[in-house]
A and B are shown apart, each in its own frame.
Chain A
């Protein structure tokens, strides 16, 4: 069996993000880059399946600049078998999903895992678009995944508004991981050393023959407005008045 896991390089959640002076993106300098936390969960789930089912190849793929190799190496150190880096810049979600569809065609995996969204752009689109392009089933926001013994289907628990839903999905399918699916393991030092010998294939995005032109153009980006300082009030009446007439929350 083959599992493909698509991952993304994103700024660490702890990093202070600054918008560039043109207001079109963020300042990359000084940013610490990590594997998107939801993608890490996706990798972990694939590795768990590998551990329980045995004969499973876990292949990682990412689309981005060559620096994204670092995140692929982290995934290989966690235990994935090989990795594919598709080099391309300034793609939007449509472009990424087109590239991934090509890779799925080439690799024909039995199931594709992704994070439910990336913590940088919060688009929450790539998994869904990929399913659409392939004509596959999708099960998004998964908090439990159990593959059937014949590997023809899987039972999943999806986190939906106000509750949980259990579905059976036919494989191959697109699965996107939610926070509670598992706790990802660390990339251990023995794992890091083993990862050295694992293949990391680089493919030029332009060579795939898909439309990479972004269909969404970022017009402007701005940090959230700075929070105004708090204010001490003299009386309860003044507080109620302020909540009613200034904050308009009462």
Chain B
């Protein structure tokens, strides 16, 4: 569908990313997913195209401007490679650069952002703990002041990029219980007492490394605190907004791929003497998928416009996240039905798309939590 928000710049950027994904990513996703990682050089190529630089100052290698529509383009087009893990491995650092740009000291910014922007080094955001990810306000990892330092103890889990990243943004309790006692810290790989263990095999996102991180008396200078003491919860919540926009875009891109794969297969496959696409039941599936995708895309465009207008639509982002993952869930289900047995075999995109629905519906705020937050935003 043509969007009223289309501009020449966005169109050229969309074509660039689509072309990059089609020629440098899609042909290799099966291989990378089975291998459990992407070649690191891909980060440098993506960095040169500008996919890490939105919202980051030029002084730190960023683009010096932001455009939520371009964020959406990145999410949608990268998702179309059909392997969520590749997208997460490549773009996962985009969820941790925002707090660095907004809140970190000049020294930390200089140390982290240029290398991440250029795709040389990776970054990870560490919020979720073994005790839970939904209830961020009750995180248990804590940091205690000791002279000019803070000493961090605790653990984090499900951290995307946790094994390969060099730079970590970590939430830890510095004050009393609840949301008023949390701060953010910068921790570098190799810091004494900081160790990583890869998580066991996952249902999907194989190409993306996910780790549990342990902090045993990890000492960081007080200047490595990101933002103000005990104000970390707000920073985390603010950061979630754009992460969620990215995940909605991922859901949209995956849904679009489900649809295009379904159409392609339904035209090729013959049953009962005619192509699948000529059977009314299948045609209706295509119609239904397509209408839900249009609705999601329109919703997301409206959200992107509001973000650009500096009116962060928190409730709508929450609603669009669960709406979007349900569109994706529906499309993946119908695509697999259209493929039949062939869709149950590894090596077809729809098999992976189906398997990777849940991580988008859980990560970055689960459907349940999104509903709860949306209703809270209504003042209820």
* Chain B interface, >50% SS class: helix
Q: A77-B16, A189-B16 are in contact. List 8 more A-B contacts (CB 8 A).
A: A69-B8, A77-B12, A186-B20, A186-B48, A187-B16, A188-B50, A192-B13, A195-B12
* Chain A neighbourhood of B16, CB < 8 A: 77, 186-189, 192
When chains A and B are docked, how far (Å) is the Cα of A140 from the Cα of B24? 29
Q: What is the CB-to-nearest-CB distance from A65 to chain B, in angstroms, rounded to a whole number? A: 15
- B43-72: contact bitstring with A at CB < 8 Å (1 yes, 0 no)? 000001111011000000001010000100
Interchain CB contact under 8 A, A193 and B48: no
A-B contact pairs, 17 of them (CB 8 A): A69-B8, A70-B12, A73-B12, A186-B19, A187-B12, A187-B16, A188-B49, A189-B51, A189-B54, A189-B63, A190-B53, A190-B63, A192-B9, A192-B16, A192-B50, A193-B65, A195-B12
Q: Closest residue to B74 on the A side, CB-wise?
A: A189
With A188-B49, A190-B53 already in contact, the answer to whether A73 and B8 are too (CB < 8 A) is: yes
Residues of chain A in range 68-103 having any CB-CB distance to chain B below 8 Å:
69-70, 73-74, 77
Which residues of the other chain, B, contact A196 by a CB distance below 8 angstroms?
A: 9
A17 at the interface (CB under 8 A from B): no
Q: Which of A182-206 contact B (CB under 8 A)?
A: 186-190, 192-193, 195-196
B278 contacts partner chain A, Cβ-Cβ < 8 Å: no
Q: How far is it, in angstroms, between the C-alpha of A69 and the C-alpha of B19 when the chains are bound?
A: 19
A193–B49 contact, CB under 8 A? no
Q: Say yes or no: is A34 at the interface (Cβ < 8 Å to chain B).
A: yes
Complex Cα–Cα for A74 and B13 (A): 9
A192 to B65 Cα, complex, angstroms? 12
Enumerate the 9 nearest inter-chain pairs by beta-carbon distance, A residue then B residue, closest first. A189-B50, A188-B49, A187-B16, A186-B16, A74-B12, A192-B9, A188-B50, A73-B8, A192-B12
B274 within 8 Å of A by Cβ? no
In the complex, chain A residues 138-188 whose Cβ is within 8 Å of any chain B Cβ: 186-188
Distance A164 CA – B13 CA, assembled complex (angstroms)? 37
CB-nearest residue of chain A relative to B9?
A: A192
Number of B residues whose C-beta is below 8 Å from A?
A: 18
Q: How far is the CB of B312 from chain A (nearest CB, A)?
A: 23
Are A190 and B12 in contact, with the CB atoms below 8 A?
no
List residues of B whose CB falls within 8 A of some A CB. 8-9, 11-13, 15-16, 19-20, 48-51, 53-54, 63, 65, 70
Chain B's closest residue to A77 (CB) is B12
Q: Determine how close the nearest CB of chain B comes to the CB of A199; give it in whole angstroms.
A: 15
Do B13 and A189 have beta carbons less than 8 Å apart? yes
Complex contacts, A192 vs chain B, CB 8 Å: 9, 12-13, 16, 50
Task: State in angstroms the CA–CA spacing of A77 and B13 once bound together.
Answer: 9
With both chains docked as a complex, state the minimum distance between the C-beta of B295 and any C-beta of chain A, in angstroms.
21
Q: How far is the CA of A193 from the CA of B50 in the complex (A)?
A: 10
Complex Cα gap A34–B54 (Å) = 25
Specify which chain A residues have a CB less than 8 angstroms from the CB of B65 in the assembled complex. Answer: 193
Closest to B52 in A: A189
For A229, the closest partner residue in chain B by CB is B270
Residues of A within 8 A of B51 (CB): 189
Q: Please give, as numbers and ranges, the residues of chain A lying within 8 Å of B54 by CB-CB distance.
A: 189
Closest A residue to B24 using CB positions: A186
State the CA gap A190–B56 with chains docked (Å): 12
A189 to B51, CA, bound (A): 8
Chain A positions within 8 Å of B53 at CB level: 189-190
| Measured CA separation A73–B50 after assembly (Å) | 17
Nearest opposing residue in chain B for A185, CB measure: B48
The listed residue with most B CB atoms (<10 A of its CB), out of A69, A186, A187, A190, is A186
Q: For A34, list chain B residues within 8 Å (CB).
A: 15
CB-defined contacts of A193 to chain B, threshold 8 Å: 9, 63, 65
